Structure 1
Amino acid sequence: MPSGTKTLYFMFSAMLTAISVGLLGYAMSTKWSKTTMECSGLVTNNGTAEITLGLFNGILVRDSCPGFGNQDTFSVFSALSNIEVTPLALHGLCLGLLVLCFLSSALSILISLYNSVSNPYETYMGPIGVYTCSSISACLSVLVIIIFVLNLYVTTMAEQLVPSIASIPPVDLTEKKSEMLVGYILLIPYTVLSLLAILLIYLYDHAAYTHRREQEKPTEDAPKEIMMY
């Protein structure tokens, strides 16, 4: 049976990772960004178009772009499949990385719980497993943070989605302004909690290593005559 200290550290690590998984699950179910653009061209009066994006569904609200008070809901992947391939590929990559985050975090929880009730050897089932799985989760979530922003700001995804979703003639969309919403922002605490889970196990591992060294030290410092005897 593991010591009470080891059980406490690994249980706290599992708890932090479980909280991060909950945050990630909620993040994937809610909205990630909102983009507003000025609309002009084949309309008599300038208007606006606003796209609110989640990972799976989105909302397009048009005000005189053209028409008044028009709102359309759409499936993100279906809408992206009708425009250039780059936004679709980047969005799909974000979703794939988030699924890997889920899997690696779940594996980290299982390894932490296993260590809290047993004393596995220093293999992938020990602290090394928690380091590996939680590190993968943190790194992949950072990649998603970067890729999603690049897809939103660097590509012309929003400008292409408006006429595609609304089935309207081409219009000039300028003054694009984007803001990140709850789903995207929750990736930050997810990453932080994954790193804290690593820190907890490192603190235990370091303390355990120091304790082992202290126990071995009296033997190493003993006189050779005593050792021979």
Structure 2
Amino acid sequence: MANRQERIIFAFGGILCFTCVMMVAAAMGTRFWVKGTVLCKTGAQLVNATDPELDKFIGNVSYGLFHGQRVKQCGLGGRPFRFSFFPDLLEAIPVNLHISVIFFCGVLILFSSISTAFFMYNAIGHPYETLHGPLGLYLWNFISCLCSCLVMILFAAEVKIHRLSERIANFREVNFLYKTYTEQYDRSYWLISFTFLIHALNILLIRLAGFEFPFQVAKETELGTGASDLMY
């Protein structure tokens, strides 16, 4: 049975995990994963635009996992356009990679929810060993950390390696060529990294509650067994 300090720590960890669920769900529904600007290279070359004149040929783009918005600038004013990845941009994006990002976001929500439930169970119930006790808390939070890392890495690969912003800007564009001018990750992307930090903090909270890391327990057990064998 957990003492009062352990219950407080577990309850606090459960609140943090529930916060992660809300953050990931909110991030998935927004278009604030990447924001940047795109240069109408064709238009700028036609008029030999210099630095002060480039502003007339620089539009912007922002998008998330499901939808986004782009504004094209080719010297005649902006042309805003809202788009959805499904089904509008299936021809332009690396579909398998994009679906993998969405899939691991869903897995992250699932295991963050499981971590929430198990933290609360350990805080108010009578947990026993195996997956209901500290071992389960370590496992679910470790999986959540891993999923959040995969989301960030896969999405970064999609944006940087596959030049997702340029693909979006040039989708079904015949007369003009657009190049990425500036690009940076927006707040929804950084919410995923914050989720990783929270789950890593939860692992430290479990250790703070007085429970050894699983690999440490296994190592100590193995050493104890070896010493007993030497005695006989």
Identify the TM-score tier after normalising by the shorter chain: 0.7 to 0.9
- SS of 1:187 mapped into structure 2: helix
- The within-5 A match list for 1:36-55 is 36-41=37-42, 44-45=46-47, 47-55=57-65
Q: 1:173 aligns with which of 175, 178, 186?
A: 178
| Percent identical residues | 27
Greater Rg, structure 1 or structure 2?
Answer: 1
Structure 2 contact 43–74 (Cα < 8 Å) conserved: no
1:64 aligns with 2:74: yes
Structure 1 pair 206–56 and aligned structure 2 pair: CA distance change class (3 A): same
Deviates more, 1:92-101 or 1:7-16: 7-16
Q: 1:49 deviation in Å?
A: 3.6
Q: 4+ residue runs of structure 1 moved beyond 6 angstroms?
A: none
Deviations 1:46-94 (CA, angstroms, capped at 9, x unpaired): 62342211111100101117x532100011232331225xx22222111
CA distance in 2, matches of 1:194, 1:52: 28
**Residue equivalent to 2:9:** 9
Structure 2 contact 166–180 (Cα < 8 Å) conserved: no
CA distance in 1, matches of 2:27, 2:193: 11
Q: Aligned partner of 1:71: which letter?
A: P
Q: 1:170 deviation in Å?
A: 4.5
Structure 1 contact 39–173 (Cα < 8 Å) conserved: yes
TM-score norm. by structure 1 comes to: 0.80
Q: 1:102 deviation in Å?
A: 0.4
* Unpaired segments ≥5 residues, structure 1: 208-229
1:191 aligns with 2:200: no
- The within-5 A match list for 1:62-211 is 62-64=72-74, 68-83=77-92, 87-164=94-171, 167-206=172-211
**Residue equivalent to 1:216:** none
Q: 1:152 deviation in Å?
A: 0.8
Cα RMSD (Å) of the superposition? 2.1
